[in-house]
Amino acid sequence: MSTVDTPIGPFTAIVAEDGAVLASGWTDTADELLPQVSPKLRPSVLSVRPELGAVTTAVREYHAGDLGAVDGIEVRQRSGEFMEAAWTVLRTVPAGRPITYSDYAALAGRPSAIRAAASACARNAAALFVPCHRVLRLGGKLGGFRWGLDAKQWLLAHESAA
């Protein structure tokens, strides 16, 4: 686990032993992240490190303007078949081109499963690396975001400016 400062606030990532992101978000505590990690993946012991190599570098580079820096970072989340597929699809949504929950459900292969798509966003443990902030309500309203609407607005503005 490591925390770095970003323009939005502290960003913490929890990674597996092999470096795959298990959970991440704009917080300085693991207490907000660990409950989001599948019990099958949750580490029994967390060690705090000053940085996490490629993960920390990607977070810093993304916030500095390299929006693709997070794309190659491995993420590991577990849930049902639809959730896992939906998280994979979400990683294909380009920065600066947000989609609606309806569009997201269709991309995930279940166009009528709009609530399930919204639930996939809400249950996403790996914020930024799985960019749930790129999903909006119809008409462009922000909808929800675990890390706050100010953070979501900042991310969307950051991506549209690049």
The one catalytic residue in 58, 89, 128, 132 is 132
**Known catalytic membership, residue 132:** yes
Complete DSSP assignment for the chain: -EEEEETTEEEEEEE-TTS-EEEEES-S-GGGTGGGS-TTT--SS----S--THHHHHHHHHHTT-TTTTTTS-B-----HHHHHHHHHHTTSPTT--EEHHHHHHHTT-TT-HHHHHHHHHT-SBTTTS-GGGEE-GGG-----TT-HHHHHHHHHHHHH-
Contacts of 142 by beta carbon, 8 Å cutoff, 6+ apart: 136, 149, 152, 153, 156
Catalytic residues: 132
